Structure 1
Amino acid sequence: MHDSAQKQARRALALLWLVPALWTVNYIVARKAPGVIGPYLLAFGRWGLAALLLLMLTRSELWRQREHIAKVWWQYLVLGTLGMVICGAWVYQGARSTGAMNIALIYSASPVLIGLGAVVWLGERLSLRQGLGVLLAIAGVVHVVVKGQWTALAGVQFSAGDLWIVAATVSWAGYALLQKQWPSPLGATARLAAICIGGTLVLLPLTVWEMSRPEALPLSGYGLLLIVVAAIVPGLGAYWIYGWAQKILGASRVAVSLYLGPLYAGLAAWGVLGEPLGWHHAVGAALILPGVFFVTGAGKGLTKKHSRPILTEGT
């Protein structure tokens, strides 16, 4: 029995290295999408397919909890808007004018915003070390957004894409905190299914509007491929592996995989997408990643309460 547990732990540790790589696939999809498929159609297809697959897996539990769902249906619409519309379509919108490395670095600061939100909304205490982490991470995000040009801020050409990603990062913090504020009798997979359905319902009219515009892109075979890849690989694949590994290793050990995200994204941006990496990326990472470590690693409450929603459903 003990040997079996050790084998499972080793297998979980090995597969955990895959999770950031699976998330990075979404950054590649986002950068491949411009000129192929619109951001709302891509997000609608991705989360609609994910919702369909999750619905098949959790239909019995969702039916048993139908009274709860009917009572708080608006919560799933709000969570779906934050997690699938803003953190979905807006990321694809931002990827039209910013690089995969910028997306990964800005998004990697989301635990810091969640930590701040936990202090303001949930009454958790922020230690001196965590406060330092907040300052470091925010400085790192600003450094990436202004491309390192602190001394010439007035002349910096801000990328609209970076601002879309900043908005999505803030939305993700709200998404994670509201999940804590709104407890649910649903299991993790069933709750994600309900949220995906809510997000898909909100995305539907936006997708119809996008497709009705004169410059709308028709759905092509390549666009459909991007939808399927985004739904299966960074969505269900990363979510399942993370959830399974967390049961075996615990939330705090699994949360370390967060720090590999920008590294994987940087390699993908350079090797797969051919995007140049600048010193502002390196400096930004050197500020953001230690900042995230201080915020999530110094406080037991923040890590345990928020590491799972941060990591499993963000991109």
Structure 2
Amino acid sequence: MTPTQRHRLALLLLWVTPVIWSSNYVIARAAKGVVLPHVLALGRWSLALLLLMPWVGRELWARRAQVRAEWRQSLVLGATGMWICGAIVYLGGQSTTATNIGLIYAAAPVGIAIASRHLMHEHASRGQRLGMGLALLGVIFVVLKGDWHNLLAVRFTPGDGWILLCMLSWVAYSVLQQHWRSALPAQPRLACIMIGGVVVLLPFTLLEVWLVPPLPLTAHALTLIVAAAILPGLLSYVAYAFLIRELGATRSSLLLYLGPLYGSLNAWWLLGEVPQWYHLAGAALILPSIWLASRKGGVPGSARRGLGG
């Protein structure tokens, strides 16, 4: 695949990946009272790793020296991307509102842009900054359901602290993937990160099962684990790794702004929750802004590194 073809594929994935990713909103809501947060996250990433291994197992063995050399990075990325942004976000979602989660996560692309500028000298153009700002306003409009007075009604709970930690962890996961050079191609490196995530998740899952009354592992729970492993797990993270390599962390983070829109469509399809007028108004602001912010320019080629391949 030529560089031009890879760039075009990345731009397509920027719009498509949030469709798959937003399924995690529905899974998280359906999992409450069905499967414990750490059990869901551990099952999700263990199964995703098993599904990926037939594609990368031989290469991991052939590059085992590089795998050993990067184990600390894999552990940190696994902790930030699979543990905190996996189990902890499910935990926080049990004691806060969707409005609060949306408002907190809306800051993630801004945080990624700031961190990328300082660590990788990844500068956004004026048009990209304008697009990000307008998209942010659109997301906040959707989260507040078109009524800015709802901002006055926001009340923060302990769960918001967990969600804030998750948002900061996602910033770290996104930026460190690009900042840390890797001798591994993208998919083998992702497998190493998944291994790191499973290693970190395991003791916390055992602690959760010990402290919290266990829930039966029903067919419903297993279905949620499989869905989480395939959709917001394997497929989404493979696509996100490719996006960071091709577009950089700043532009790749724009897909977070599409989550509330696509999440409402998933909720309409799966849960029968009909989209409201503010979803359409937010889409009218977000979609052209994403196009503006994702246009080529403003990111030096030397900043695109760190995912191998």
Both structures adopt the same fold (TM-score exceeding 0.5): yes
Flag structure 2 segments of 5+ consecutive residues without an equivalent. Answer: none
Counterpart residue identity of residue 43, structure 1: A
Q: Which residue of 2 aligns with 1:178?
A: 176
Map 1:48-63 to 2 at 5 A: 48-63=46-61
RMSD: 4.4
Q: Displacement of 1:202 after TM fit? A: 0.5
Q: Which string of whole-angstrom CA distances, capped at 9 and with x for unpartnered residues, describes residues 79-110 of structure 1?
A: 001111122113323443444x9867875764
The separation in 1 between residues aligned to 2:292 and 2:67, in whole angstroms, is 37
Q: 1:230 to 1:263 in 2, by over 3 A?
A: same
The separation in 1 between residues aligned to 2:62 and 2:244, in whole angstroms, is 26
Q: Which residue of 2 aligns with 1:81?
A: 79
Map 1:271-282 to 2 at 5 A: 271-275=269-273
**Does structure 1 residue 32 correspond to structure 2 residue 30?**
yes
Q: TM-score, normalised by structure 2?
A: 0.74
Q: Displacement of 1:195 after TM fit? A: 0.2
Counterpart residue identity of residue 182, structure 1: W
Q: 1:223 to 1:246 in 2, by over 3 A?
A: same
The separation in 1 between residues aligned to 2:224 and 2:285, in whole angstroms, is 33
Q: Which string of whole-angstrom CA distances, capped at 9 and with x for unpartnered residues, describes residues 140-192 of structure 1?
A: 55555666665575543347666644543332221121011111111111011
Percent of aligned pairs with the same residue?
46
Q: Which residue of 2 aligns with 1:119?
A: 117
Counterpart residue identity of residue 220, structure 1: T
The separation in 1 between residues aligned to 2:130 and 2:136, in whole angstroms, is 10
Map 1:163-312 to 2 at 5 A: 164-238=162-236, 258=255, 261-275=259-273, 288-289=286-287, 291-297=289-295, 299-301=297-299
Q: Does structure 2 retain, via aligned residues, the 8 Å contact 1:145–1:158?
A: no
Map 1:14-33 to 2 at 5 A: 19-33=17-31
Counterpart residue identity of residue 199, structure 1: G
Q: Displacement of 1:42 after TM fit? A: 0.4
The separation in 1 between residues aligned to 2:43 and 2:298, in whole angstroms, is 38
Counterpart residue identity of residue 55, structure 2: L
The separation in 1 between residues aligned to 2:152 and 2:18, in whole angstroms, is 36
Q: Does structure 2 retain, via aligned residues, the 8 Å contact 1:111–1:296?
A: no
Q: TM-score, normalised by structure 1?
A: 0.73
Q: Which residue of 2 aligns with 1:65?
A: 63
Counterpart residue identity of residue 197, structure 1: I
Map 1:69-148 to 2 at 5 A: 69-96=67-94, 97-99=96-98, 110-140=108-138, 142=140
The separation in 1 between residues aligned to 2:151 and 2:241, in whole angstroms, is 42
Counterpart residue identity of residue 179, structure 2: Q
The alignment of Structure 1 onto Structure 2 pairs a total of residues equal to: 297
Q: Does structure 1 retain, via aligned residues, the 8 Å contact 2:102–2:143?
A: no
Q: 1:17 to 1:30 in 2, by over 3 A?
A: same
Q: Does structure 2 retain, via aligned residues, the 8 Å contact 1:143–1:284?
A: yes
Q: 1:112 to 1:285 in 2, by over 3 A?
A: farther
Q: Displacement of 1:32 after TM fit? A: 0.6
SS in 2 for 1:301: coil
